[in-house]
């Protein structure tokens, strides 16, 4: 299911820290402990190094305390940064900050009293014990301010993290929304093109039927039967933009039979296809406009027998479809993609479905006549049920039964 803005917001508000973030937290406070110990080593140089055991323990315990407090502070910033109003947010930050600073300030003072040098002993650089005359360590107010600064630093990092996450979540949601809109637009365009093609195809076929109503009633009955097959497929496959080539050729054979009845034996159509190409997906009714174009601009313009060859084969990772006729050929200044509704529609659908991965050309055939070629990327059809259109392969000299 595609994600919705509600789903994205729920994911944005899900409170958690990644393993990478937890590793960064541990690393930062380990560095803090290391720098604290290094600073004390520098201050105590020349004095008894046994005196450093207490300060080292204090530095490690303080860093551990802050490492444990950092995730809740970050998650607080994440939650309040998304949910709360400004006044309530500032009040909560201030209240938590005072509580954290007081707790860590008191803990720091007590740790220094517990692990610091005894009163009257020589402090750093030969001085006496810490300020206040007790066991070594700063007074509470100093530790409180230091803890408050550290809290504000962690809180600022949490707010920055929250803003960054919200920004990236909104960008991802915008990208997903844009992709959905593009897909819907593409589907709408394909549907519009399909709706444009169906009436055009039906109109031309009915014209062919009407031309023989009085002259060949039996042929008209056969044409109507084939037209019924075409219309049935049009309704059953209306929601499919692509079909297997096998199905496309079976459908095309119905149209070819209608045209053969119309031309009273003057039209011969030969279809050849690689077995491996029959399961490749092609746009619905992609070959019919090409065959119609070959008949209209090729066969109709010559006096003798008309031949149309349909060839489908795989070339590497591409499917190549060719429709060749023995007509007079294309004029040098003729547009390469044709100018009829069917061909314009075919070009538009190919561009919509495949973009730059497809190619469509119409040119003079080497042996005379015209060849239309479509080159598509090879995409195999999944094994899904398709409308029941019995294949009727059309070959050179094939006869049409009277049904």
Comparison of pLDDT for 297 and 200, the residue scoring more: 297
pLDDT band at 148 (very low <50, low <70, confident <90, very high): confident
Mean pLDDT of 213-232: 78
pLDDT band at 389 (very low <50, low <70, confident <90, very high): very low
What residue ranges define each of the domains in the chain, with the CATH number in brackets?
A: 5-181 (no CATH), 211-377 (3.30.565.10)
Query: Is 269 within 8 Å of 394 (Cβ atoms)?
Result: yes
Mean pLDDT of 262-285: 91
pLDDT of 132: 38
Residue 336 has pLDDT above 60, yes or no: no
Q: For residues 130 and 70, what is the distance between their CA atoms, to the nearest angstrom?
A: 29
Query: Is 213 within 8 Å of 39 (Cβ atoms)?
Result: no
Q: For residues 355 and 303, what is the distance between their CA atoms, to the nearest angstrom?
A: 40
Q: For residues 279 and 381, what is the distance between their CA atoms, to the nearest angstrom?
A: 6
Q: Does residue 235 sit in helix, strand or coil?
A: helix
From the number of C-beta atoms within 10 Å of its C-beta (0-12, 13-18, 19+), residue 63 rates as buried
Of all residues in the chain, what percent carry a pLDDT higher than 90?
Answer: 17
Residue 328 has pLDDT above 70, yes or no: yes
Those residues whose C-beta lies under 8 Å from the C-beta of residue 159, and which sit 6 or more positions away, are 77, 81
Q: Inter-axis angle of helices 140-210 and 341-354, to 10 degrees?
A: 160
Spell 110-127 as b/e; 16+ CB within 10 A means b: ebbeebbbeeeeebbeee
Compute the half-sphere exposure of residue 45: CA atoms within 13 Å on the CB side of its CA. Answer: 4
Least confident of 128-132, 148-152, 288-292, 325-329: 128-132
244-268 pLDDT, tens digit per residue, is 999 999 989 988 888 888 888 899 9
Closest CA to 147 of 92, 114, 110: 110
Largest CA distance in the chain: 128
Of all residues in the chain, what percent carry a pLDDT higher than 70?
Answer: 68
Query: Is 316 within 8 Å of 276 (Cβ atoms)?
Result: no
Mean pLDDT of 2-28: 62
Count CB atoms within 10 A of the CB of residue 285. 24
Q: Where do runs of H (alpha helix) occur along 116-216?
A: 140-210
Those residues whose C-beta lies under 8 Å from the C-beta of residue 252, and which sit 6 or more positions away, are 271, 287, 288, 291, 310
Ramachandran bin of 397, using left for φ above 0, alpha for ψ from -120 to 50, beta for the remaining angles? left
């Amino acid at each position: 299911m595609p994600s919705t803005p509600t789903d994205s917001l729920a994911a944005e508000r899900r409170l958690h820290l990644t393993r990478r973030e937890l590793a960064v937290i541990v690393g930062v406070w380990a560095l803090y402990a290391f720098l604290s110990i290094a600073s004390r080593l520098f201050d105590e140089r020349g004095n008894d190094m046994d005196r450093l055991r207490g300060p080292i323990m204090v530095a490690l315990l303080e860093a551990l305390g802050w490492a444990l407090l950092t995730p809740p502070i970050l998650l607080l910033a994440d939650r309040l940064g998304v949910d709360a109003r400004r006044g309530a947010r500032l009040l909560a930050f201030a209240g938590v900050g005072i509580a954290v600073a007081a707790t860590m300030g008191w803990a720091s003072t007590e740790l220094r009293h517990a692990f610091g040098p005894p009163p009257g002993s020589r402090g750093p650089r030969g001085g006496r014990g810490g300020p206040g005359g007790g066991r070594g360590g700063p007074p509470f107010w100093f530790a409180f301010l230091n803890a408050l600064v550290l809290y504000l630093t962690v809180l600022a990092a949490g707010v920055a993290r929250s803003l960054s996450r919200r920004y990236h979540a909104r960008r991802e949601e915008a990208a997903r929304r844009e992709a959905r809109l593009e897909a819907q637009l593409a589907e709408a365009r394909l549907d519009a093109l399909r709706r444009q093609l169906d009436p055009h195809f039906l109109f031309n076929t009915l014209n062919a039927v009407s031309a023989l109503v009085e002259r060949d009633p039996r042929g008209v009955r056969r044409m109507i039967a084939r037209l019924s097959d075409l219309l049935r497929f049009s309704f059953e496959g209306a929601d499919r933009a692509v079909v297997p080539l096998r199905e496309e050729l079976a459908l095309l054979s119905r149209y070819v039979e209608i045209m053969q009845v119309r031309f009273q034996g003057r039209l011969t159509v030969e279809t050849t296809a690689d077995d491996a190409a029959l399961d490749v997906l092609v746009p619905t009714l992609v070959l019919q406009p090409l065959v119609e174009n070959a008949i209209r601009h090729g066969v109709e313009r010559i006096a003798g027998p008309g031949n149309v060859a349909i060839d489908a084969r795989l070339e590497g990772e591409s499917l190549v479809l060719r429709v060749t006729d023995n007509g007079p050929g294309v004029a040098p200044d003729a547009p390469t993609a044709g100018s009829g509704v069917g061909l314009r529609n075919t070009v538009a659908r190919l561009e919509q479905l495949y973009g730059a991965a497809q190619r469509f050309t119409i040119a003079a055939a080497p042996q005379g006549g015209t060849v239309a070629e479509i080159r598509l990327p090879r995409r195999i059809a999944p094994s899904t049920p398709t409308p029941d259109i019995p294949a009727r392969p059309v070959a050179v000299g094939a006869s049409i039964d009277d049904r």
